[in-house]
């Protein structure tokens, strides 16, 4: 009688070293890993804008099968996402005026401005602040960080009223600083009204470029642009002197 061979003993897989999963989680949540995720998200957003060319939607009507307040709400959300993806706000403001007129277009553009600023601020604060703050060693960067951290509302109001600093740059600079959320959102909402209104009105009256309203709006845009450049130049030299 043949003895059946005993099945080989199954040895359990070796357990992972203690603390390995904890170390992996720490690496994934490290400041530089989060900063890399932020860079990847922004690069993907920018590539998406270049690939899908959202401006084509304006030529064919925005958005399909929607009108009135519903269309303006969808536009505001798209505005916010596009502004995070570095689409220039002046183009979005002109489009808001051309699509919805002065009043509804201004509401949609302001809502989109706040949405885009909030998204950029939140992404920068959660994913970039811890990695970038230790790098603020240059004199100018430290002075700018101190100004935003100590006088956040006043500084952001000046940036929004006199747009000499790109929208995205102001958002991420505020996120890296110690500026508080409420001050950032309120200053963005209030300070963006005049310049946004001028662009929206210009877009709404673009079909009559010689009308007084259009000329006044364009004049205001030119004046605030020049004032913004002067304020940015003065602030730069003042920060260098600190």
Q: What is the pLDDT of residues 115-133, one digit of tens each?
A: 999 999 998 888 876 666 6
With cut-offs at 50, 70 and 90, classify the pLDDT of residue 42.
confident
| Pairwise CA distance, residues 129 & 215, whole Å | 42
- Give the C-alpha separation, 53 to 43, whole Å: 15
Give the span between the Cα atoms of 130 and 16, in whole angstroms. Answer: 30
Closest by CA to 128, choosing from 233, 58, 36, 196, is: 36
pLDDT for the residue numbered 230: 74
For residue 18, what pLDDT is reported?
54
The torsion region of residue 156 among left (phi > 0), alpha (psi -120 to 50) and beta comes to alpha
Query: Could you give the maximum distance between any two Cα atoms of the chain, in Å?
Result: 111
DSSP code of residue 116: H
Note the pLDDT of residue 166: 85
Q: 216: pLDDT confidence band, cut at 50, 70 and 90?
A: very high
pLDDT higher than threshold 60 for residue 28? no
Q: Is the pLDDT of residue 98 over 80?
A: yes
Nearest to 97 by CA among 190, 186, 225, 214: 214
Which is higher by pLDDT, 64 or 201?
Answer: 201
Q: Residue 183's pLDDT is what?
A: 92
Average pLDDT over residues 68-87: 88
Count of Cβ atoms closer than 10 Å to residue 1 Cβ: 3
Cα 155 to Cα 4, 152, 183, 234: the distances in Å are 85, 5, 10, 13
- Per-residue pLDDT tens digits for 160-193: 988 778 888 889 888 888 888 899 999 999 999 9
Angle between helices 181-191 and 193-204 (to 10 degrees): 40
CB 85 within 8 A of CB 48: yes
């Amino acid at each position: 009688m043949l003895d059946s061979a005993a099945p080989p003993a199954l040895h359990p897989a070796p357990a992972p070293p203690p603390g390995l999963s904890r170390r992996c989680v720490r690496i994934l949540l490290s400041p530089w890993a989060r900063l890399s995720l932020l860079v990847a998200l922004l690069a993907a957003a920018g590539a998406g804008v270049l690939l899908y060319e959202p401006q084509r939607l304006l030529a064919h009507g925005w958005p399909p099968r929607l009108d009135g307040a519903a269309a303006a709400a969808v536009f505001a959300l798209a505005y916010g996402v596009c502004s995070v993806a570095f689409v220039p706000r002046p183009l979005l403001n002109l489009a808001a005026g051309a699509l919805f007129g002065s009043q509804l277009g201004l509401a949609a553009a302001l809502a989109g401005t706040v949405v885009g600023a909030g998204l950029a601020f939140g992404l920068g604060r959660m994913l970039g602040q811890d990695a970038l703050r230790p790098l603020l060693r240059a004199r100018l960067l430290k002075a700018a960080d101190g100004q935003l951290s100590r006088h956040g509302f006043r500084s952001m109001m000046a940036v929004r009223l006199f747009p000499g600093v790109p929208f995205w740059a102001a958002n991420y600079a505020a996120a890296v600083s110690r500026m508080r959320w409420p001050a950032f959102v309120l200053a963005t909402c209030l300070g963006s009204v005049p310049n946004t209104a001028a662009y929206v009105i210009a877009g709404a009256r673009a079909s009559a470029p010689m009308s007084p309203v259009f000329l006044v709006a364009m004049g205001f845009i030119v004046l605030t642009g020049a004032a913004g450049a002067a304020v940015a130049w003065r602030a730069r030299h003042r920060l260098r002197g600190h």
